Amino acid sequence: MSSQPIPQADVENIYAELRKLAAIHLSRRAPKASLQPTALVNEAWLRLAQHPWKSRSHFLAMASTAMRNVLVDYVRSRLAAKRGGEWTRVSIDGGRGPEGMTFNLAQVLDVHEALQRLTQLDARKARVVEMRFFAGMDFDEIAEALNISVVTAKRDWQFSRAWLYDSLTS
């Protein structure tokens, strides 16, 4: 299931659903209201429970693709908006890693594109990255969603990360 292409219509549904959820989530004035993807995904799960999703993991798998679309759109719009101006430097490693690299915002798009290449080579690994980086799912969730062991999920992540880092720097 994990490597099956996700029907576009479903992705669009969830995409719209997540946007709505974001609005609800944000209007609640939760103390740490933010675009926390996991919270959004959980809510989306509850709300979409009546839909014929095969399972929670099936749902999560689709939701992460939708999240990726949302965020890539956002980054694109940000880039488009300041075309010609100073490009903002966004630290993709949160500024924590000792040797972490600082990205242009545009390089989020590079990650997105590299991930598309990785999908050609190994769809499952690309899904792991999508779920973790774009949707913020933890390894337990990813393992469940892709029907793999947690260890495999972690190994996929480490390998893919190195692969992406290499393809973005070389």
Q: How far is the CB of 74 from another protein (least distance, A)?
A: 5
| CA atoms of 155 and 157, how far apart (whole Å) | 5
Confirm if 101 and 164 have CB atoms less than 8 A apart: no
- Give whichever of 91 and 116 is closer to another protein, judged by the CB atom: 91
Q: Hey, what are 168's tokens?
A: 């973005």
- Give whichever of 54 and 160 is closer to another protein, judged by the CB atom: 160
The neighbour count for residue 37, using CB atoms within 10 Å, is 21
Q: How far is the CB of 27 from another protein (least distance, A)?
A: 5
The neighbour count for residue 83, using CB atoms within 10 Å, is 7
Among 1, 26, 49, 151, binds another protein (CB under 8 A): 26
Q: How far is the CB of 72 from another protein (least distance, A)?
A: 9
| CA atoms of 152 and 163, how far apart (whole Å) | 16
The residues that bridge with 103 in the sheet, in sequence order, are: 90
Q: Which amino acid is at 51?
A: H
* Stretch of 2-10, 49-57, 94-102, 141-149 contacting another protein, by CB under 8 A: 94-102
| Segment 149 to 168, residues that bind another protein, using CB under 8 A | 155, 158-159, 161-166
Among 35, 48, 106, 148, binds another protein (CB under 8 A): 35
Residue 93 in the binding site for another protein (CB under 8 A) = yes
Residue 1 in the binding site for another protein (CB under 8 A) = no
- Phi, psi at residue 90, to the nearest 5°? -115, 130
- Phi, psi at residue 80, to the nearest 5°? -65, -35
Residue 74 in the binding site for another protein (CB under 8 A) = yes
Q: How far is the CB of 164 from another protein (least distance, A)?
A: 7
